[in-house]
């Protein structure tokens, strides 16, 4: 089985989207005979020749991106616009999406996923599912046990996909946990993210005391 | 009332004349209205570096028209995103502009009605509204999907999506709806 992937993250090969895809890939390639092809950076605007070629010549394609302002990044929207000329040109394509976000709840990604499913119908392909995952900001500073669990699930999902050619709904469900948080969980998660992730980065840049700066108007 | 129209249309789009008519109508009613024609502006897509949150808080490290987008956005009472629909969503010009306003919010998270969202950097943000031009394949589901996503985007600004109108709505009704909000 051959799987193609377009990584739409503006951070390209160095971002969290790439890291998660890598674990999926490792699982997928454990199955003998499988092959994996990835475009890790979409910078060929506005033509996107390589990406269009991949779209036209794949049987199975994942388009992956981080959530930006509740939807796909503008650069990914640019890519989707370039696909307008490809409508109906690869009806055999099974199109999937991977959407990850920094917010702890996976629920934030569901609205973009609904758009992706509709986009697939406009392109005349088969929608073969969306891998949705919250809690992905600061993967590098999260406790290793938590991060390992996420990586292991991406690996399992890739492996299972490599066997069946389908995204396993049970693993998708586990990956998506938590879809929502209880108020008790929110009260635990927020200080962890604010103090460990953001304050840590602000301190590293000597910018903690400027954190609440209002460069466009102190009185606004 | 300060009204900002962020026009994300490509050259020759039918939305252009509709925007002009709406601007004239709200101006005649005594309101201040400004248009940013996004295609004539110079701003890079957001690269997700988060330097605007952790290195130069509140400011993007790109020195382009992103600062102007932020300034105009913040000083408005309502921002109307005017765009043709392309592949079932407002244009990439519009989305790239929206991605560049993240310096206006703070990286810290907080509980907003039982859901985690970013904290405000400024006291108040404008209301959002959408003026959209249908494409040949636009259907009701497209509109519903867009509405849901922009309601979420507005929530992140502790604001709200005041309306979604199509360019085939009457100019007068659209102008009145802007002013009502």
Structurally, how many domains does chain A consist of?
2
For residues A112 and A192, state if they share a domain.
no
Q: Do A79 and A153 fall within a single domain?
A: yes
Q: Are residues A190 and A126 in the same domain?
A: no
Does residue A58 fall inside a structural domain? yes
Residue A64's domain spans which residues? 2-179
Task: Enumerate the residues of chain B whose CB falls inside 8 A of the CB of residue A205.
Answer: 54-55
pLDDT at A195: 93
Q: Which of A69, A179, A181 to mutate to test the interface with B (most CBs of B within 10 A)?
A: A69
Residue A166, in any domain of the structure: yes
Give yes or no: residues A117 and A189 share one domain: no
pLDDT of residue A48: 96
Residues 150-179 of A with CB under 8 A from B: none
B70 → closest Cβ in A108, A119, A216: A216
- On whether both A174 and A192 belong to a single domain, the answer is no
> What is the distance in angstroms between the Cα of A24 and the nearest Cα belonging to chain B?
23
The minimal CB distance from A205 to the residues B45, B54, B145 is found for: B54
**Chain A positions in Cβ-Cβ contact with residue B55 (cut-off 8 Å):** 205, 207
Say what the pLDDT of residue B128 is: 97
| Residue B43's pLDDT band (cuts 50, 70, 90) | very high
Pull the structure tokens for residue B23: 């601007």
Q: Does A218 map to a domain?
A: no
Same domain, A38 and A126: yes
Same domain, A137 and A193: no
Both A166 and A187 in a single domain? no
Residues A94 and A155 in one domain: yes
d(CA B174, CA B178): 6
Give the domain CATH number at B111: 3.40.50.360
Does residue A219 sit within a domain?
Answer: no
Residue B170: name the closest of B131, B129, B127 by CA. Answer: B131
pLDDT at B103: 98
Q: Would residue A217 count as lying in a domain?
A: no
- Tell me which of A41-55, B78-92, B117-131 is least confident: A41-55
Residues of A whose CB is below 8 A from B47 = 10-11
If contacts are CB pairs under 8 Å, which of residues 94-123 in chain B contact chain A? Answer: 95-99, 101-104, 106-111, 114-117, 121-123
- Chain A segment 86-115 residues within 8 A of B by beta carbon are 103-105, 107-108, 111-112, 114-115
Q: Strand, helix or coil at B107? A: strand
A118, B141: Cβ pair inside 8 Å?
yes
- Site from A81, A197, A211, A216 to mutate, B interface, most B CB atoms within 10 angstroms: A216
Contacts of B31 (CB under 8 A, 6+ apart): B1, B2, B3, B178, B179
CA distance A39 to A21: 11
Check pLDDT > 90 for residue B141: yes
Range of the domain at B34: 2-180
Whether A81 maps to a domain, the answer reads yes
Give, in degrees to the nearest 5, the angle at Cα B62 between A22 and A111. Answer: 50
Task: Give the CA dihedral B17, B19, B24, B30, nearest 10 degrees.
Answer: 180
- Spell out the per-residue pLDDT of chain A, length 220, in tens: 999 999 999 999 999 999 999 999 999 999 999 999 999 988 877 789 999 999 999 999 999 999 999 999 999 999 999 999 999 999 999 999 999 999 999 999 999 999 999 999 999 999 999 999 999 987 877 788 889 999 999 999 999 999 999 999 999 999 999 999 999 999 999 999 999 899 999 999 999 999 999 999 988 8
Q: How far apart are CA A171 and CA A161, in angstroms?
A: 11
B140 → chain A, closest CA residue: A118
**Shared-domain flag, residues A45 and A106:** yes
Q: How far apart are CA A72 and CA B96, in angstroms?
A: 10
Q: Do B95 and A190 touch (CB under 8 A)?
A: no
Asked whether residue A216 is domain-assigned, the answer is no
Q: Which of A146, A160, A11, A155 is nearest to A75 (CA)?
A: A11
Residue B157 has a pLDDT of 87
Residue A167 CB neighbour total at 10 angstroms: 20
- Minimum-distance CB partner of B71 among A83, A213, A216: A216
Quick check: B170 pLDDT over 80?
A: yes
A215 in any annotated domain = no
| pLDDT on residue A218 | 85
Q: Search chain B and give the residue with CA nearest A182.
A: B114
| Domain shared by A60 and A88, yes or no | yes
**Lowest-confidence segment of A70-74, A192-196, B9-13, B59-63 by average pLDDT:** B9-13
Residues 4-33 of B with CB under 8 A from A: none
Distance CA B131, CA B78 (A): 12
């Amino acid at each position: 089985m051959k799987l193609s992937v377009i990584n739409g993250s503006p951070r390209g090969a160095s971002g969290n989207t790439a890291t998660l895809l890598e674990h999926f890939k490792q699982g997928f390639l454990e199955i003998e005979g499988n092959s994996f092809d990835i475009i890790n950076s979409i910078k060929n605007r506005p033509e996107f020749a390589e990406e269009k070629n991949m779209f036209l010549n794949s049987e199975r394609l994942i388009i992956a991106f981080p959530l930006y302002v509740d939807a796909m990044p503008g650069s990914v929207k640019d890519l989707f616009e370039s696909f307008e000329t490809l409508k109906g040109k690869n009806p055999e394509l099974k199109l999937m999406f991977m959407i990850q976000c920094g917010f702890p709840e996976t629920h934030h990604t569901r609205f973009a996923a609904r758009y992706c499913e509709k986009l697939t119908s406009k392109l005349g392909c088969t929608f073969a599912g969306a891998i949705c995952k919250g809690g992905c900001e600061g993967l590098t500073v999260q406790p290793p046990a938590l991060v390992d669990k996420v990586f292991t699930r991406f690996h399992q999902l890739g492996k299972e996909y490599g066997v069946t050619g389908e995204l396993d709904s049970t693993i998708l469900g586990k990956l998506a946990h938590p879809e929502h948080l209880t108020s008790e969980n929110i009260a635990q998660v927020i200080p962890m993210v604010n103090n460990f992730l953001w304050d840590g980065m602000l301190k590293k840049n000597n910018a903690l005391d400027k954190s609440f700066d209002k460069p466009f108007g102190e009185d606004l | 009332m300060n009204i900002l129209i962020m026009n994300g249309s490509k050259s020759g789009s039918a939305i252009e004349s509709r925007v002009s008519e709406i601007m004239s109508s709200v101006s005649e009613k005594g309101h201040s209205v400004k248009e940013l024609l996004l295609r004539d502006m110079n701003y890079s897509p957001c690269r997700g570096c988060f330097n605007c949150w952790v290195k130069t808080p509140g400011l993007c490290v790109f020195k382009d028209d992103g600062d102007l987008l932020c300034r105009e956005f913040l000083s408005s009472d309502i921002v109307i995103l005017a765009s043709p629909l392309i592949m079932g969503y407002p244009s990439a010009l519009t989305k790239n502009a929206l991605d560049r306003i993240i310096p206006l919010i703070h990286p810290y998270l907080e509980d907003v009605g039982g859901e985690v969202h970013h904290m405000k950097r400024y006291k108040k943000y404008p209301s959002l509204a959408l003026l959209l031009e249908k494409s040949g394949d636009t259907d009701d589901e497209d509109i519903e999907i867009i509405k849901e996503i922009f309601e979420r985007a507005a929530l992140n600004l502790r604001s709200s999506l005041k309306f979604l109108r199509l360019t085939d709505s009457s100019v007068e009704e659209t102008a009145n709806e802007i002013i009502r909000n």
